[in-house]
Chain A
Amino acid sequence: MLRSATTWLLVGQRFGIAAITLVIVSFAVFFATELLPGDVAEILLGQAATPEAVAGLRTAMGLDEPAIWRFLSWLAGLASGDLGMSYVNNVSIADMLSGRLANSLRLAGIVTLVCVPVALFLGIASAMWRGSVLDRLVSMLTISVISVPEFMVATLAVLIFAVWLGWLPALSYGVDVDSWGAMLRAYAMPVITLSFVVAAQMIRMTRAAVIETINTPYVEMALLKGASRTRMVLRHALPNALGPIANAVALSLSYLVGGVIIVETVFNYPGVAKLMVDAVSTRDLPLIQSCAMIFCFSYLLLITIADMIAILSNPRLRR
């Protein structure tokens, strides 16, 4: 299908807005971390530090420069790919992050591959046969899954599959993942736990979006043209529900990068979320900021992609 220039203008605009948001967010992130209680120099030197030593270290680390100046130089660093050095162990933050980010993305990727098709299928199916046994079963399951906190799901999974049955390793990392089977076993539990949380939300939102379009006059019209239920939903309702569904999926997925701290902790999985929490306890400001920026970036990216799908799937927006 031909997309006109205005459509691409609209898409470009959306990207521009995302970029501006990112700058505003970076500002907020930087000054929010400034507000954290405790001083890096004091923490680094321990309780026995003399005030002179603390002052010396602060000067050496550049902490006594004005905040706005430090923000600008940090932003310039970010833009050129230089995330700075960790305060705590003087390692390049890019090095610290790269491995962890790869881990997080791998986990998120696997969960996405498992979750999105299942969630879309169940969401659409339960909307299609609204009020049926399948719909009620799915509704009941999603509500119970949403109501159970994820640490509970994670802990129970470990208790059942690792401790009682001994089928799966309790820790996901550190086991050899040289074969497909081993990898499947290593990732099974975190993926199941995360899928529970993420898929439930997606199913409910997909169902709601599809039901809303099913209730429109043009879907009734399709029914009155003799269309089957499947055709009605897949050909008429679904294309118009694409925008809201993409948004629901993006919102759920954005949780996978930054919001998985509990799962990472329970399964001792070295991802970005755990890195950030560790960084907070050591007041490693550059690391906290970089992690926060990664979370915001992935969130914005997902939402922007969802917006784009909404724009491209709506002929009224691509005049």
Chain B
Amino acid sequence: MTEPLVCVRDLRIGATTDSGRKVEIIKGVSFDIAPGEIVALIGESGSGKTTIALSLMGHARPGCAIHGGTIRLGRHDVTGMTERQRAALRGTEVSYIPQSAAAAFNPSKRIMDQVVEITSIHNLMPRAKAEAKARELFRALALPDPDTIGSRYPHQVSGGQLQRLSAAMALIGDPQLVIFDEPTTALDVTTQIEVLRAFRSVMGQGNMAGVYVSHDLAVVAQIADRIIVLRGGVVQEEGTTEQILTAPAHAYTRQLLDAFEPVPHVAAPKTGAQARPILQVDNLCAGYGAIRNGEPAAKILQNVSFRLERGRNLGVIGESGSGKSTLARAIAGILPAYRGNIQLDGAELKPDLAQRSKDQLRRAQIVFQLADTALNPAQSIETILGRPLTFYHGMKGAKRAARVAQLLDMVHLPNALRHRLPSELSGGQKQRVNLARALAADPELILCDEITSALDTVVAAAILDLLKELQRELNLSYMFISHDLSTVEAICDDVLVMLKGRVVEALPAARMSAEAVHPYSRLLISSIPKLDTGWLKGLEQDPELIALFARR
């Protein structure tokens, strides 16, 4: 067997919290990477996967420090090096592709300057040669206008292009090891495919080894040779990709795989066409910016119409910028629609929130994506839940306290949490509180705006189960906005596919994969990664469709 390129033994990394407490976040991790092999580090947030990946470059984020163990990279002992020696390693032996290229490119410098910077830091080659090499890489990564794209600023290219440019930036120094830190998490699915393909092809040519950090098993299945499953800074399971996907040995790995394929939703029975829908929207138009002649400068939503029957759930899917969140904001009245009609249970809703009656406000509630920003960090959970109780129902004192306890019970949180601040809860708990706040109003309709997107798969699956349970008990209707088709399939009866502010197709969720006709819906559905190592290789998409709809 050949000598491994990377050899990590009993790695321990500690962190000091803001309050000065010392915690160990990596608890004795060991693994090897062979030359040319791509190893994936899989785990949820807080599992330590990024921390381990960065430690391979000899870097620990502020507050963290490598406490023990050894990391060997080629001939170098990374743990025993001085900072200056490590700096000489970075970019030449091991390089990094960040999670968000949009944030990792310096906004005030041109792209080419940043891509070739490694060569000038380490004096690898003259500038002209470096630029020629960069253009070659741009071509290999299938970037448009490879000869001129370098002279642009980062804000002038799309997210998917930036992510590929960051790969060019990492590869310019011919490293032996490339670290991919969730490089496609922030991208839309149709964009993700192209980026993954580009990564695969350049990694295949250069015989470089890679570490691919991700929480998404399906993405990892397309690119990794071996998978290491992490949880709480400890390796749970290690094996080839095939082995992990088909015959997981550890219970946690099975849990991750199960969360990936949620129980299909049993569609609620259709009520007669005569029944009054809980929400009916006709030709809704909304937008942002200065209003001239009754129309805003930037028109986002255009003639959106649908009806949502009581007790059923409507999914709204689309990629970033498709107008799905704007739709929720327009229905909630936060962003008044400039044209069109919204009816809640047969009664017309005024476009502007301020002109709606308190009862109308009570009946339709919205839950936002990020509980972190939606919950006031200075208020206790009891105060947060108590406010809508007082506002809508005039509850006070013991009655209010009793109702808060009930609400917490409904979302399966212990009553003892009521005195805590949002910052003292986990992500999943915060999202439950966020949901409980909407429930406090006793609503009939809840607009859920990407409420599971920021959560880990296992936690998100539990939130979906909770939503279904609440629906059975309280006869709620959900409008569920998401960019994730499997989430929508798991909870919705009907689906709207949105593109550029318009509804391109409306169809039942259960038959979505089979029956979607609109080319964009087909493209979107075919772009969802599958838990199958051959999926990306075998995937064929019509290039004309891609040119038409995907913003790569």
* Contact residues in A for B108 (Cβ distance below 8 Å): 239-240, 313-315
Once the chains bind, are B91 and A236 in contact (CB under 8 Å)? no
Given known A-B contacts A221-B98, A316-B153, A226 and B121 have beta carbons under 8 A apart: yes
Hey, which chain B residues are within 8 Å of A216, CB to CB?
A: 103
Counting CB contacts under 8 A, is A217 at the interface?
Answer: yes
* B117 on interface, CB distance cutoff 8 Å: yes
Q: Is A226's CB under 8 angstroms from B90's CB? A: yes
Whether A217 lies near B103 (C-beta < 8 A) is yes
Contact A227 B107 (CB under 8 A): no
Please encode chain A, from 228 to 247, with 1 for each CB lying within 8 Å of some chain B CB and 0 for all others: 10010000100110000000
Which one of B104, B122, B155 contacts A221 once the chains associate, using CB atoms below 8 Å?
A: B104
Interface size on A, residues (CB 8 A): 21
**Could you tell me the distance in whole angstroms from the C-beta of B245 to the nearest C-beta in chain A?**
31
Across the interface, name the chain A residue whose C-beta is closest to B113.
Answer: A235
Please tell me if B92 contacts chain A, counting CB pairs below 8 Å: yes
With A224-B59, A231-B121 known as contacts, the answer to whether A240 contacts B107 (CB < 8 A) is yes
Complex partner residue of A224 from B95, B103, B122, CB under 8 angstroms: B95
> A277 near B: Cβ within 8 Å?
no
Which residues of B from 252 to 268 have beta carbons under 8 Å from A?
A: none
Q: Give complex CA distance A315, B153 in Å.
A: 7
Residue of A nearest to B83 (CB): A229
* Contact yes or no, A218 B107, CB < 8 A: yes
Interface residues of A in 59-75 (CB under 8 A from B): none
Size category of the binding interface on chain B: 20 to 34
Closest to A236 in B: B106
Contacting residue for A226 out of B91, B107, B155, CB 8 A: B91
Q: Is the CB of A225 within 8 A of B59?
A: no
Contact (Cβ within 8 A) B88 A226:
yes
Q: A224 to B114, alpha carbons, bound, how many Å?
A: 12
A218: contacting residue among B89, B92, B106, B155, CB under 8 A: B106
Bound-complex Cα distance A231 to B121 (A): 9
Q: Given B54, B57, B103, B109, which contacts A239 in the complex, CB threshold below 8 Å?
A: B109
Which residues from A are CB-within-8-Å of B117?
222, 225, 227
- Whether B59 pairs with A223 at a CB distance below 8 angstroms is yes
Complex partner residue of A315 from B91, B98, B107, CB under 8 angstroms = B107
Most chain B beta-carbon contacts within 10 A, residue among A227, A231, A239: A227
Tell me which residues from 85 to 138 in chain A have a Cβ below 8 Å from any Cβ of chain B. none
Chain A minimum-CB-distance residue to B90: A226
Give the shortest distance, in Å, between B466 (CB) and chain A (any CB): 34
- Flag whether B87 is at the interface (Cβ < 8 A): yes
Bound: A217/B61 CA distance, A:
11
Interface residues of A (CB under 8 A from B): 216-228, 231, 236, 239-240, 313-316
Known: A225-B117, A315-B153, A316-B107. 9 other contacts (CB 8 A): A218-B104, A221-B96, A223-B90, A224-B95, A226-B90, A226-B92, A227-B121, A231-B121, A316-B153
Question: Can you list 5 residue pairs at the A/B interface with Cβ under 8 Å?
Answer: A226-B90, A227-B117, A228-B121, A239-B109, A315-B153
The residues of B with any CB-CB pair to A shorter than 8 Å are 54, 57, 59, 61, 87-92, 95-96, 98, 100, 103-109, 117-118, 121-122, 153, 155, 169
